[in-house]
Amino acid sequence: MHAQTTTASKPAAQRQERTEIETRRFYLSHLCQPKGRGSWLFETRAGAVVFHHNGTYGEAKKAAIAYGTENGIDVLYTCP
């Protein structure tokens, strides 16, 4: 007898490590680290804005990490 393999029996794709948030661009623009409440934007290496969050920076960073990890993005940059 031959064993049949189906696409359903293949293991799911490995989930990547957690997305990193980079603040260097923000710091160079404002000469301080991001903090406080506001409208926060996060962009990819290419400069495409892919995530927006209103609230504290801590909340925005946590949500951006979840979004990036879910979508396979290795690093997101806090927009200046």
Domain boundaries, the chain: 35-80
6-20 burial code (b ≥16 CB/10 A, e <16) = eeeeeeeeeeeeebe
Over the stretch 50-72, which tens digit does the pLDDT of each residue have?
999 999 999 999 999 999 999 99
Give whole-number Cα distances, 8 to 11, 17, 39, in Å. 8, 24, 42
Mean pLDDT per 10-residue run, the chain (80 residues)? 48 68 96 97 95 97 97 95
- What CA–CA distance (Å, rounded) separates 10 from 5? 8
pTM of the full structure: 0.76
